[in-house]
Amino acid sequence: MPHQAKAKYQVYYKTDHHWTTRGAYAVFKALAKPLDITADEKYKFYCVSDNFKGTIGSKVTSVKSIDSVEICFSEALQNNFFIDFYGEREKSVSFF
């Protein structure tokens, strides 16, 4: 994990064992060049929840912390997506 990401953003959720979106993005940026992946697009981050209690927070009642969850989109593609909710027979052009 690039140490610069830890200094600037929260890399792991306080209440979960997964990377945050910004933590995963930092790893993507660090690995893109060695893997010969073009990663020069600009991404925009959006908060979709400010009341996330991850696997730890939902199972351990003494954990009082909550996290925010973000998603990110390429600025070039932010209006060009389509969501198919598998098994629910529902489709949408919005996450919200």
Render pLDDT for 3-61 as a digit per residue (tens, 0 to 9). Answer: 555 557 888 888 888 899 999 988 888 898 899 888 777 888 888 888 888 887 777 76
Give the global pTM.
0.66
Task: Identify which has the larger pLDDT, 93 or 38.
Answer: 38
Please state, in angstroms and rounded to a whole number, the distance separating the CA atoms of residues 66 and 54: 8
Which tokens belong to 28?
A: 């993507």
Instruction: Give the phi and the psi of residue 40 in degrees, each rounded to 5.
Output: -100, 5
Tens of pLDDT, residue by residue over 55-65, are 877 777 666 77
- Model pLDDT, residue 35: 92
